[in-house]
Structure 1
């Protein structure tokens, strides 16, 4: 699924995002608003991982979602 589709269905996708990354809050979801770069940044911040690792996790999630 491409990111435009995820962004268009962000309200539905937030549940799946929170299943994958439980440390992300509702406030994080509001800030992210379907923007991939914001999701990557929040994952880096909450989980203390490098940008490359956060990008990989998001890419893996995209293919499963």
Structure 2
């Protein structure tokens, strides 16, 4: 699923995002609004993982949709 499609379905995906990454706050998810760069930064911050790992997890999440 491409980023434009994710942005279009963002409200529907917020539940799935929070289920996968429970440490993300409602504000994190709201501000991200489909921006994978911002989301990767928040995953780094909340989970203490490398940027590459955060981006990998986001891509895996996108493929699972």
Q: Same fold (TM over 0.5)?
A: yes
> What pairs up with 1:24-35 in 2 under 5 angstroms?
24-35=24-35
Structure 1 outlier segments of 4+, above 4 Å: none
Q: Gaps (5+ residues) in structure 2?
A: none
* Matched position secondary structure for 2:34: coil
Q: Distance in 2 between matches of 1:39 and 1:7?
A: 12
The CA RMSD measured in Å over matched residues stands at 0.8
Find the counterpart in structure 2 of residue 13 from structure 1: 13
Residue by residue, what CA displacement relative to the aligned partner does 1:10-32 show, whole Å, maximum 9, x if unpaired?
11111111111010010111211
TM-score, normalization by structure 2: 0.93
Q: Distance in 2 between matches of 1:32 and 1:63?
A: 18
Q: Distance in 2 between matches of 1:34 and 1:57?
A: 14
Q: Gaps (5+ residues) in structure 1?
A: none
Count of aligned residue pairs for this structure pair: 65
